[in-house]
Amino acid sequence: DIQMTQSPSSLSASVGDRVTITCRASQGISNDLAWFQQKPGKAPKSLIYGASSLQSGVPSKFSGSGSGTDFALTISSLQPEDYATYYCQQYKTYPLTFGGGTKVEIK
C-alpha cells in the first residue's frame, strides 16, 4: 500500500497568514493526489484534485503543487472559515490511502 505522510500534524496560524501543508507519498503517484478540508462534525469537502486543479466553487486562495512523491497545499491568506483539518489522498493505486491529517488552529 502507498503510505501518505502529512506534515505538520497540527499548526497554529493567524488570520492573514500564508499556510503550507506538505504531503509525501511512499512511492511515486504522478499527480494523482487530492486535498480535502474537514470541519468538526461535518463531512470532508473536496478542494483539489490532480495535485493542482481546483474543485469547482473552491476559492483561489487554495492552491496545490507537486508531482511524484512530494506535494503541498497552500492557503494564501488564512481566514476564520479556513480553520479545519486538511487531508491529502492518493488515487494512483488501490487501496486509496489518506494522509493522517493536518489540523489548522487559531493562533
Name the residues that contact another protein, by CB under 8 A.
Answer: 1, 34, 36, 38, 42-46, 49-50, 55, 87, 89, 91, 94-101
CA distance 35 to 87: 6
Strand, coil or helix: what is 9?
Answer: coil
Taking the complex as a whole, the smallest distance from the CB of residue 27 to another protein amounts, in Å, to 17
Contacts of 56 (CB under 8 A, 6+ apart): none
Taking the complex as a whole, the smallest distance from the CB of residue 62 to another protein amounts, in Å, to 14
Whether 6 contacts 89, CB under 8 Å: no
Taking the complex as a whole, the smallest distance from the CB of residue 16 to another protein amounts, in Å, to 28
Q: Which is nearer to another protein, 46 or 69 (CB)?
A: 46
Q: Which is nearer to another protein, 71 or 87 (CB)?
A: 87
Q: Which is nearer to another protein, 1 or 70 (CB)?
A: 1
Cell of 70: 512530494
CA distance 17 to 59: 16
Q: Which is nearer to another protein, 68 or 101 (CB)?
A: 101
